[in-house]
Structure formats: C-alpha cells, structure tokens
Amino acid sequence: MAQLQNLPTNAPSLPDQADPPSSILILDVWPQVDCGRFAVKREVGDILEVWADIFKDGHDKISAHLEYWQEGSDEIFLAEMSFIDNDRWRGFFHVGEPGRYRYRVVAFPDYVATKRDEIIKKFDAGIDVSLEIREFELILVEIAQEHPQAAEIIDSIRHQLAHRSGDGPRVAVVTAIETVEALRPYRNIGGEMATPEYQLIVDRIAARYASWYEMFPRSAGKVPHQSGTFADVEARLPDIADLGFDVLYFTPIHPIGATNKKGKNNSLVSTPEDPGVPYAIGSPDGGHDAIEPQLGTIDDFDHLVAAAAGFGIEIALDVAFQSSPDHPWASAHPDWFTIRPDGSIKFAENPPKKYEDIYPINFESGDWQALWLELLRIVRFWVDHGVRTFRVDNPHTKPIPFWEWLIREVHETHPDVIFLSEAFTRPKVMKALAKAGFAQSYTYFTWRTERWEFEEYFRELTGPDVSQYMRANLFVNTHDINPYHLQTGGRPAFRTRLVLAATLSSVYGIYSGFELCEATPVPGREEYLNSEKYEYKVWDWDRPGNIKDLVRTVNQARKDHPALQEYDNLQFFGADDERVMVYAKVSNDGEDRVVCIVSLDPHRSVNTWIHLDLAHLGLADGIPYDVTELITGNHWSWAGAHHHIQINPMIEPAWILSLSPLN
C-alpha cells in the first residue's frame, strides 16, 4: 500500500488507502428490514426485486449488480441491475429452495461504457476518435490485468481493432453488440462501492398460502366423557380434507398434570373425570416429548402424520413452553422456574386470571443455556417425527433473542419448518417477533369490525414495508377467543367472517366448531361456555345450521384462483355505504381478478353503489366484462366501474366475484 509522505504532523487525517475512496453512493436500498438487521421474507419460486438510488459525481457511466448467495455457500450469483429513472436502479433474482440467503448491491464506474459513449458522440459529430480508441484499448489492458480469465476475449477485440483501418470500422468494433456482451462480466476494474449484506429467508409456499383448521384431538371421539384418540382424528381426516383445509393444527398433545387440575369452565374444583387443560403440560408420563396416553402412542402419532399427508394435510403442533407442577422439569430443574421466597414455584397469572395448574419458565435462569438447548431439543424431536409447522403459544412472554436463536438453529438443518406466532400483544412486539423469524403471525383481525378499521389495518399489514417480513394468518376465532360479533351476529356473521379471513389474506384459519356456528358464550365474556379446554366434547359435525358448504366453496375458490393465493396484492375500492367493504386481488400475471363485496351488517339488508378501479383490474372502461359469483355460481356481465348492488345477509352476506374480459 502506498504511504503518505511529507505531511505536517498536524495534518488532517486521511483514509489510510492507496486509492481515493469511491465516489459512488448507494442509497435507499429496498427491500431491507431495519438496515439489514432482520431478514426480508419470500417464498419458493418468488422473485426478489431490489431497488436502490445509485449515482456518482460527473457524467461518467456506472453499472450495478446484485450479489446473492445462500448462507454457508461459497458460490456467489450475480444479477444485473438496470437504470430506471432519476438515479433509481432495479434488479431481481428468483429465489430457490427454502433457506437463508444474503444479498447486497454493488456499483462501480463503467469505464467501458463511458469511453464507448464518448467515442459514439464524437464520431457522430465528425470528430477524429483515433486517440479515444487508443484509450479504449488501454481500458482493455486493465481489464485483462484485473480479470485474467478474460484474456482470450480481450485479445480477440484488440486483434479486430488492430486489423481495421479508419475510424468507422474501428468504432464498429467498439460498439458491436458482441463486444458489449463479451465485456459485460468484466467491467468492474476498480472504484466499486458495495452496500452491507442484507438477509433473506425463503420459506415454503405454505408460509404464504394455507388454510388452517384447529382442533383438540381429544374432541375427535364419539363416546361422551371419554377422550378421543389419534385413530379418531384419522377418521375425521376425509371430512377436513373435503372442507379444503391443508393444515391441521392440534392443541398440545402431551401428558396433562394432575396438580391444581382445572374443572369445567375453568373451575378450581375438578373431579377425576375432568381431563385437565392441555396447556398444563407434564406428568409422570413425561413432558414435551411425550404423548398424552389417552390419545395414543408416538407410533400412533407417526401413523396419523402419514395418513394426513395422504390427504394433502400436514399436522401442526402447538409449542407451549411452560409446564404443570408435575412436569419432570419441575423436580429435575426447579431453577428453570421462578422460586418464591417461601420456596414454592410461581404459577402463571394474568390478573385477574390465575393459572394455578401452569408454571411459566424463567428465561432469566442462571442455567439458561441448558434451558435453551432443551427447548431446541424438544422442537427437533417433533421435527424428526414429521412435523414441519408449529403454532407457538404466547411467544411474546419469552425473550425475542431466544426465538431468533431457536428458529435459526432449526432452519440450519430443516429450512422448511414454519413457525406461527400466537401473539395478541402490542403491535411493535408482534412485528418484532415476525422479524425474529416467525413465518406467520396472528393479528388483530379477530377484533376488527368496522370498514375503516379493516382498511387502515390491512393497508399496513399488506403494504410495502410490513409485508416484507410479516404474514398475517387470520384466525376467525380461537379456543381462547369467542368474539362478541360471532356471539351476536348469528349465522350471517360466521359467513361474513369466513369470507373476510379467507380473502383479505392468503393464509387463514378457523377453530373447530366455527363451521357449526358455535358461539355459546360465558355471559359478558369473549369465552366459550363449556369450553373443550376443560372437558371432553363430542360434536355432531353435521348438525343443522352449519356452514360447511360455504367453507368448502371458499377454500375451493382459493385453490382455483391464484389471485387469492398472493398476500400483498390487496387493493380496496369504494362503496357509498360504510357497512360494505369492496376489495380486489389480482394475480401477478394480471390474468386472474377477484373482487370481494362484503356486508359488515349481519342484521339488515344493504342497498348501495360500489366503485371499481377498472385500470387496476386491467379492464377497459365502457367494454363489458364477465362476472361469476363464486359462492352461488351466478353469472352475469357488467360494464363500467360503478354498480348498484343489494345484499341480504340472511341470503348471501358476501360475494366473491371473478372478473374477466368478454371474448
């Protein structure tokens, strides 16, 4: 490295390098999450499009490309970036198999393009360019020195220049497409600038597009006051598959503790016939890597996983990192819990609620490293038994750095594993969990009821910033949440919420019983009366008043229409009545257009005008287009953007319309 000579001792400090710093600036790189601290998310087969503002002083040409590689690999791939306008550049690459990747933007002075541009301008102006062509040859020499593998190409170009006479023929060599393409990989000969590395997680498509069905496995049985078994769950698989679900999520399947066991409706008094809460994990029969004996054995579970796969369904398990007082951890590792001054272990509380049957884990334990490794072992145990999707209970009550570590460790060997964050918590905490690696997140959808709430919230969730790292899994209800609008809205409310969840997002879920319009509440509370959290249940899965036909139809529409399988393509349109929502999804190729019209009033009919954006839909104003309503199968044609509609919630509270130009 050249040394700086003869400077006074009090001279200003200069960069300690032989060459002057690059004068290229790369600004406003998109997408990135928190300056690259967290990963952008995509799915297999997607395109990662990267934008950046790139420029330098003067009028010299610059070029830029994307460098991207899979973590742990030495192979780096390049994708050319193109100038768009106003110093904005764009590049993209296709993402491959699931895993973790890195990418960055690299820009450099394009001396070849600069000299070529100068030669063309002067030649076209009738100015002698013989000296400029000699300068071009010197650039070729520099390229050969910087990129020895290009020596043969350089020799060929120089040979052509040497054997042409006159400016015209030699300019033709310099500007030939063959010359431009041959030199393209070797233009970078110094002065480059690179951004920091940005992270990318590539998930399975199921991270973006899936339909979830939640159930208590013990409620699959047919004998009152007796637990169902994994075999009973297998018997339910044809019905669940027929409804169109592809993820079957179980509440915890582990042994349930007897100490402080809860009775019906969360009573502190239980009887031997009460099964206890599945979230009170652990008994003498084992802990998180064991099966509740009444459900079956680990072999029975493996058989169920294989049987479900035969129906195109994958099993998702609940990860609930807590224990009952009877868990083996409580005796072997009491320091993994919070010890009170009287020597007792602190049970879980969320005042005024108390969970005397559950011990929360103390993540500030002095033995935290052994604790983290044990929890990782638990997840890997179930991965080894074929589970690739986990719903994580209350992750916001555990340290976010722990989740970032655990998810990365799991992905090291199984990058196809999907984690769903069940975190009804503060918005920024929910987002932080998504950034930490959770592929999907619960949201506040369950409590949104007004049009302005939906539009404001989903513009945020599916907008260009949040959608880079967070995918909203819209659950219409859960075993903990019996929303007031379902308690009071009757069957129309169930139909409306199903359509909203299944079409606002590409991934959604229902808790079993929703298809039966089950909403009997604990008076004044968003909880189910006689909840199956506390007792055995036997359901009539075909009882009168069910909406199974609608569930089946909506899930089939999702399968048939690529527009409904995308997450960030949501666009809201207008309606004169605030009780009506109108929104659209258009597929990436523009060929599939779905418009949803949903009445948010389950009690009264609505007459209103709706206003479509035909340009967004790729339809021409004034030219008729075909409309098919996917729930009823009704068919008609419309022309124009403005239409008067009437919706009777007792008949069809929501429309899902497929629009296409008339042939």
CATH of the domain at 285: 3.20.20.80
Distance CA 613, CA 621 (A): 10
Give me the amino acid identity at 543: R
Q: Are 253 and 171 contained in the same domain?
A: no
Which pLDDT belongs to residue 13?
81
Considering the domain architecture, whether residues 165 and 251 belong to the same structural domain is answered as no
The residue written with tokens 């300690």 in the block is 16
Q: How far is CA 328 from CA 11, 298, 323, 402, 418, in A?
A: 69, 18, 9, 22, 28
Choosing from 532, 565, 598, the residue where a domain stops is 565
Of residues 146, 34, 40, 51, the one with CA closest to residue 92 = 51
Q: Which of 510, 538, 565 is a domain's end point?
A: 565
3-state secondary structure of 348: strand
Quick check: is 349 in a domain? Answer: no
Residue 607 lies in a domain: yes
Same-domain status, 312 and 425 = yes
* Three-class SS state of 128: coil
What is the block-wise mean pLDDT of the chain (663 residues), using blocks of 10 residues?
Answer: 56 78 94 97 97 94 97 96 97 96 97 94 94 94 94 93 91 93 92 96 98 98 97 98 98 97 94 96 98 98 98 98 97 95 90 89 97 98 98 97 98 98 96 98 97 98 97 98 98 98 98 98 97 97 97 98 98 98 97 98 97 97 96 97 97 97 86
End-of-domain residue from the set 144, 172, 203: 203
pLDDT (0 to 100) of residue 9: 62
- Within a domain: residue 342? no
DSSP 219: G
Residue 229 in any domain: the answer is yes
pTM for the full model?
Answer: 0.94
pLDDT one-digit tens code per residue, 605-656: 999 999 999 999 999 998 999 999 999 999 999 999 999 999 999 999 999 9
The CATH number given to whatever domain includes residue 590 is: 2.60.40.1180
Q: Which long-range contacts (CB under 8 A, 24 or more apart) does 33-38 make?
A: 33/199, 33/435, 33/468, 33/469, 34/435, 35/196, 36/196, 36/197, 36/198, 36/199, 37/435, 38/199, 38/435, 38/436, 38/469
pLDDT of residue 1: 44
Same domain, 155 and 232: no
> Distance between CA atoms of 598 and 579, rounded to whole angstroms?
8
Please give the pLDDT value at position 46: 96
Average pLDDT score over the chain: 95
Q: Give CA–CA dist 173/265, Å, rounded.
A: 85
Q: In a 3-state reduction of DSSP, which class is residue 621?
A: coil
Strands 314-319 and 389-393: parallel
535 and 434 part of one domain:
yes
- Same domain assignment for residues 287 and 239: yes
318, 276 in Cβ contact below 8 A? Answer: no
User: Residue 60 belongs to a domain with what CATH number?
Assistant: 2.60.40.10
Do 98 and 115 reside in the same domain of the chain?
A: no
Number of separate domains in the chain: 4
> What is the tens place of the pLDDT at every residue in 585-607?
999 999 999 999 999 999 999 99
The pLDDT assigned to 168 comes to: 93
Is the peptide bond prior to 252 cis by the omega test (within 30 degrees of 0)?
no
436 with 315, same domain?
A: yes
- Note whether residue 360 is domain-resident: no
Residue 341 lies in a domain: no
* pLDDT for res 261: 96
Inside any domain, residue 516: yes
- Catalytic positions are 393, 422
In a domain, 327, yes or no: no
Same domain, 166 and 297: no
> Are 271 and 146 part of one and the same domain?
no
Note down the domain range covering 296.
206-320+366-565
Residues 151 and 71 in one domain: no
Same domain, 468 and 403: yes
